[in-house]
Amino acid sequence: MENGQSGTPRWLDIGPDRITGWLDAFASRHGGATTGPGPEVVIVRAADGAVAECHPPFPPLPPGTSGTGVEMAAHACADRTVGVLLVRLGGYAAGVFAGRDARLVASKVGSRLVHGRSAAGGTSQHRFARRREKQASEALAAAADCAVGVFSAFGGSGRDSGGLDAVVLGGDKRAMAALREDVRLRPYFALAVDRFLTVPDPRLAVLQGTPRAFRAIRIRLTE
């Protein structure tokens, strides 16, 4: 139980173009609501006790924000340059999205063969494991090379230097964790947002669709 609610909280991803209408419907459905803005979370409490914790992307919100849907949408779609790195074992994609319309201005996608696990035993199993480990290491190195090649063209961090404002990571968390050992990627991991995108094998179409996910307002809803 939380906030007097017996319902189990659930997470929703609401696009910037839908957030105002969603909040209006939430208030109407629950007999009205009040908004408590914060720098990272906007808490909307309904008259009947329902709660919608809104987590806008790229926190914090601008100072003085009252937490309306219009303000959250404007912040989600603000003019920024965002790097995206998607990695799964054997596949990777890196891209840079710029502007209010999140245009894909640079990208590279690739893959490397990594065999699945073998059911064989004994010497064959050890030989297969060594080959698979080598393949995985080469695949991750290729993913790191891809990210450095795409992101480095945008210089340092921050708009004043013409660089990236934020980095969004996605794919497989174990594969991504292995990339953190590459010193070339440390500046980009330092810009990474908390939101991690769970995506299928990274392909160009998957990369192109990531703005819908990384600009969505995440809502923890308790009804």
Residue 65: give the domain boundaries.
10-78+217-222
Placement of tokens 């179409």 in the chain:
205
49 and 102 share one domain: no
Assigned domain for 31 exists? yes
Over residues 95-107, the mean pLDDT reads 97
pLDDT band with cut points at 50, 70 and 90 for residue 111 = confident
Quote the number of domains for the chain: 2
Q: How far apart are CA 73 and CA 45, in angstroms?
A: 19
H-helix or E-strand spanning residue 141: helix 122-151
136 and 204 share one domain: yes
The pLDDT score that the predictor gives to residue 4 is 43
Evaluate if residue 2 carries a pLDDT over 90: no
Q: What is the CATH number of the domain that holds 117?
A: 3.30.420.60
65 and 111 share one domain: no
Evaluate if residue 31 carries a pLDDT over 80: yes
Q: What is the mean pLDDT of the chain?
A: 87
Over residues 82-105, the mean pLDDT reads 94
Could you tell me the pTM of the whole model? 0.86
145 and 68 share one domain: no
Per-residue model confidence as pLDDT tens digits over 136-157: 677 888 999 999 999 999 875 5
DSSP assignment letter at 9: P
pLDDT band with cut points at 50, 70 and 90 for residue 117 = low
State whether residue 36 is helix, strand or coil.
strand
87 and 126 share one domain: yes
Assigned domain for 86 exists? yes
Assigned domain for 2 exists? no
User: Which one is predicted more confidently, 185 or 124?
Assistant: 185
Over residues 59-80, the mean pLDDT reads 96
H-helix or E-strand spanning residue 54: strand 51-55
Over residues 27-35, the mean pLDDT reads 97
pLDDT band with cut points at 50, 70 and 90 for residue 171 = very high
User: Which one is predicted more confidently, 14 or 130?
Assistant: 14
Q: Which strands form 10-14's sheet, in the order they lie side by side?
A: 10-14, 217-222, 51-55, 42-46, 33-36
Q: What percent of the chain has pLDDT over 70?
A: 83
Evaluate if residue 189 carries a pLDDT over 70: yes
66 and 109 share one domain: no
Evaluate if residue 3 carries a pLDDT over 70: no
